[in-house]
A and B are shown apart, each in its own frame.
Chain A
Amino acid sequence: MQKNKSAGTLSLPVKALLLIIPFLAVFISLFFGRYHIPLSEVALSLIKPESVPLASRVAVLHLRLPRAIASAFVGASLAVSGAAFQSVFRNPLVNSGILGVSNGAGFGACVAIVFFGGGVFTYFFSFVFAVAAVLLSYFAGRISRVTTSITMILGGVIVGAFFSALVSIMKYVADPYSQLPSITFWFMGSFASINYSHLYALIPMGLGMLLIFLSRWKLNVLSMGEREAASLGLDVKKAQILIIGGATLCTAAAVCISGTIGWVGLVIPHIGRMLTGNSNQKLIPVSISLGAAFMVIMDLLSRTLTGSEIPIGILCALIGTPFFVYLLKKTKGGFKA
C-alpha cells in the first residue's frame, strides 16, 4: 500500500496526532483564565470534583470546559465547511461564509436584539436566517439554466449584500445606547457567554461535519467541474446538496453561538493544503483537527491576554495573518495552480 500513499488516506501516526491535538488544546485551556486556580485544583476538578472548592470547580467545569468544547466545534465547523466550499465552487479563495451565512445570521441576531431583547432569541434567529440565506443563494444560483458554481457564488454575493443592507437598517433603528453595542459586539464574535445550554448547537455542527467527512473523497471529483464529475459517474446535484447542506448546518450553528468569526474558514484549509496536500481525503480531517485546536487556543488567548476580553474575531485575524504568511514562506505554498 506504500505506493498508494499520496492517493490514500493519512498514515496511522498522523491520524493519532490529528485526533489528539484538539483534546490537548481543550485540556490546556482549562488551566488558564483570569480567575486564578492552582494547577492541582484544575486537575482534581476533572478527576474528583467534590474535593475542590466550589468556585474553582465551577470555573473549570462550568465556564472553561463548555467554552473550550464550543470553540473547538466552531473552529472545526468553520474550517471544514471552508474546505468543502473551496472544492464545491472550484475556487481556493472561497471561505465558509460564501453563501451569505454570516450576513444572514447577522441579520437574524439584529432582529432578535432589536425586537426580542436578545438572549436565546439571538441564537434561534441567527440560525434560521443563516440557513435562509444559504437557501436563497442556492436557488438564486440555480435560476440561470446554465447552473455553474460561478452563478451560485454570485447568488451568495448578492444575498450577502442584501442581508448586509438589512443589517444596516437594523443598526439604524436600533437603540444606540443598549442595542447598537450588542449588535457590534455580536459581529466581533465571542465565546464569553457560552455555557452547557449552548451545546445543543453541537448537534447540527456534528451532523454537518459528519456529512462532509463521509463525502470527502467525492469533493475531489466535484472539484473537477460539474460536467467532468458527471461523466465520472457522480450524481452532481445530490452530492452538491449533501455537501452544501452539511456545510450550512456547520456554519449556521457555529455563527449562531459565536457571532461572526471570519478568516478561519479561509485560512485553516489553506494551512491544511500546505501541510498534507490538496486531496480532500486528507484535507477534511486535517481541517477539522486544526480548526478545532486553533480556535480553542485563540479563545484561550482572547480571554487571558489582556484585562478585558479581546473579541475573538479580531484576534483570529491579528494572530492568524502573520502566521499564515510565515507558513506560506516556509512551505512555498501548497497551492499552485
Chain B
Amino acid sequence: MILNIDNLSFSYDKTPLLENLSLSADKGEIICLLGPNGSGKTTLLDCVLGFHRTFSGLVSVCGKDVLTLSRPELAKLVSYVPQVHAPTFPYTVREVVLMGRTAQSGLLGAPGKEDYEICDYAIARTGIENFSERPYTELSGGERKLVLLARALAQKAPLIVLDEPTSSLDFKNELLFLEMLSDLVRSDGISVLMATHALQHPLYFESEGIPSKAVMLCKGKPFRTGAPGELITPETLREVYGVRAEVTEIKAGGKTVKTVAVIGSDI
C-alpha cells in the first residue's frame, strides 16, 4: 500500500470539514477526489502533503506517518503538481524540472550529475524536449502543466498529488494530460491522488482499465468511495451536487465509455 489515510478528521474552526475519512491507494492506482467547491478536496491534499498538520487520524505514505517526516524525506515519497503556479523569474524549462531534485541535496547543496540525468529522463518521459531550453513563462497553459508534471516526476516519488491539473487546459490538452498520467501509472507503477471537478476523469481512467477509485466529498455528509462507474450515479450526483443528471454508456472505437449528461440543477 502506497497511501493510507485512516480515520482522518480535520476542521478549520469548530465545524468539521473532513470527518473520519479512510482511504488507501495501492501501487499503480489512481484515486480521484470529487466533490463541490469547499467540500475539502484541497484540504485533504494538504493533509497528505504535510501542509496541514493539526488533523486527527493517520496519514501515511509507504508506511511512514507524514507528520514524522522532514520536508526532504516527504518530498522523496510524495510529489506535487499545484493547481495554480504564479511564475516569477523566466527560468528555462530544464531549470524548473531540475528543481524536482531539491530533496536530494542538503541545505547548501546543488544538483549533481545523477540529478541532471534524472532531470533529462523526466523531460524525455513527458515529451517536452522540444521546448526544454525555452523560458517556461512563455509556454502555453498545457505545456506548463507538463513541465510541472515533469518536475514532479524528477522527484522520483511513488505518489503524485495533483490539484485540479486540467482546470486551465483546453479539450485536447486535457486529454493529452490524462493520457500521459495513465501511461505513467500503467508503465511506471506510480500512484496518483488527484482532486478534480471533471466527473469524466475517473470514468476515463476506469474505461482505460487502470485500477482506479473515486472518492466523493460533501460537506456535512459522510464521504463515499468506490469504483468510478459504481459511485457516479444519478442518485449520488443529486445528493452531492444537487444536480439532475443521467449516466449513459457509449460504445465507440472498441471502447465502452461512461459519460454524465446533465439535465438541470432543479431537483
In the complex, whether A55 has a CB less than 8 A from a CB of chain B is: no
A279 to B50, CA, bound (A): 28
Contact indicator per residue, chain A 88-102, by CB within 8 Å of chain B (1) or not (0): 001110000000000
Q: Is the CB of A233 within 8 A of B72?
A: yes
Which residues of the partner chain A approach B103 to less than 8 Å between Cβ atoms? 232-234
Who on chain B is nearest to A236 by CB?
Answer: B71
- Among listed A121-129, A155-163, A211-219, interface-contacting one: A211-219
Please give, as numbers and ranges, the residues of chain B lying within 8 Å of A279 by CB-CB distance: 91-92, 95
CA A334 – CA B91 in complex, angstroms? 10
Q: Is B88 touching A223 in the complex (CB atoms < 8 A)?
A: yes
Which of B85, B104, B108, B137 makes the CB contact (< 8 A) with A336?
Answer: B137
With A228-B82, A233-B155 as known contacts, state yes or no: A6 contacts B102, CB within 8 Å: no
Min CB distance, B63 to chain A, in Å? 19
Asked whether, in the complex, the Cβ of A337 is within 8 Å of the Cβ of B111, the reply is no
Contact A4 B91 (CB under 8 A): no
**Which residues of chain B are within 8 angstroms of A229 by Cβ–Cβ distance?**
102
> Which partner residue on chain B sits nearest A9 by CB separation?
B110
Q: Which residues of A contact B111 (CB under 8 A)?
A: 217
B interface footprint on A3-17 (CB within 8 Å = 1, 0 otherwise): 110111000000000
B79 touching A7, Cβ below 8 Å: no
Q: 0/1 per residue, B42-77, Cβ < 8 Å to A? A: 000000011100000000000000000011101110
CB distance B71 to A220 under 8 Å? Answer: no
Judged by a CB distance under 8 angstroms, whether B135 is at the interface is yes
Decide yes or no whether A143 CB sits under 8 A from chain B. Answer: no
- Does B120 lie at the interface of the complex (its beta carbon under 8 Å from any beta carbon of A)? yes
Known: A220-B95, A233-B75, A336-B137. A225 touches B110 (CB 8 A): no
Residue A281, interface by CB 8 Å: yes
Asked if B250 lies at the interface with its beta carbon under 8 angstroms from chain A, I say no
A261 an interface residue at 8 Å Cβ cutoff? no
Contact with B along A161-202 (1 / 0, CB 8 A): 000000000000000000000000000000000000000000
Q: Is B263 an interface residue (CB 8 A)?
A: no
Please provide the chain A residues from 251 to 306 with a CB less than 8 Å away from any CB of chain B in the complex: 273, 277-279, 281
Closest to A235 in B: B71
- Asked if B116 CB lies within 8 Å of chain A CBs, one says yes
* B98 within 8 A of partner (CB): yes
**What 0/1 readout, one digit per residue, does chain A (53-71) give for beta carbons within 8 Å of chain B?**
0000000000000000000
Among B79, B88, B98, B102, contact of A234 (Cβ-Cβ < 8 Å): B102
Residues of chain B lying within 8 A (CB to CB) of residue A1: 116
How many Å from the CB of B138 to the closest CB on chain A? Answer: 7
Contact B85 A228 (CB under 8 A): yes
B267 proximal to A (CB < 8 A): no
List residues of chain A with CB within 8 A of the CB of B109: 217
Known: A233-B72, A233-B74. A336 touches B116 (CB 8 A): no
Knowing A218-B102, A224-B99, A337-B87 touch, does A277 contact B92 (C-beta < 8 A)?
yes
Contact with B along A301-337 (1 / 0, CB 8 A): 0000000000000000000000000000000001111
A residues apposed to B, CB below 8 Å: 1, 3-4, 6-8, 86-87, 90-92, 214-218, 220-221, 223-225, 227-236, 238-239, 242, 273, 277-279, 281, 334-337
Can you give 29 A-B contacts (C-beta < 8 A)? Answer: A4-B119, A7-B98, A7-B119, A8-B116, A92-B88, A215-B107, A216-B110, A218-B102, A218-B108, A220-B95, A223-B89, A225-B86, A230-B71, A231-B49, A231-B79, A231-B82, A232-B99, A232-B100, A233-B75, A234-B71, A235-B71, A235-B107, A238-B107, A278-B91, A334-B90, A336-B135, A336-B137, A337-B89, A337-B90
